[in-house]
Amino acid sequence: MRNTLSAIALITLMSVAPVASAAEGSATAPRGNDLTLGLIQRSIKAGMTTSEVVESVGSPNLVTRGRNGRESWVYDRFSTETSEEGFHVGGGGMGAGGSVLGVIGVDGGKKKITTSQRTLMLVVTFGADGMVETFTYRSSKF
């Protein structure tokens, strides 16, 4: 009996350990082209090459060349966030003449939907040597 319990405990530990390490690894993996204010502040520096900028923040939305011959890259991102509050789903019952909605417990409670938007714009200007000369950014939420 004791050997059986030890074997079960060992099998359980072996099956859980790989799942935990896989979940930990995926939480820290980079997410590709997600452009955030923190990423801009930590990554973009004067003197970077165009390749380094692309590696850091991805490809721009727009590339322009001014009268002075200098190239500017524009990154423009926006997102919409929606949240719901107050919707009630609970247990219910169906008596004679009841409905399916009554069975799953949808009682027609009120819900409040809130929507907000975030914008983030980054403009990187390169000098004649192809290196980052200046950069500016603007972030807003409304």
Number of H helices, E strands in the chain: 4, 4
Domains and CATH numbers, the chain: 2-95+102-141 (3.30.1450.10)
Q: Is 115 exposed, middle or buried (0-12, 13-18, 19+ CB in 10 A)?
A: exposed
Could you tell me the pTM of the whole model? 0.58
pLDDT (tens digit per residue) in 34-44:
889 999 999 99
pLDDT (tens digit per residue) in 105-134:
555 667 889 999 999 999 999 999 999 999
pLDDT (tens digit per residue) in 22-58:
333 333 323 445 889 999 999 999 999 999 999 999 9
Strand order in the sheet with 112-126: 62-65, 71-85, 112-126, 132-141
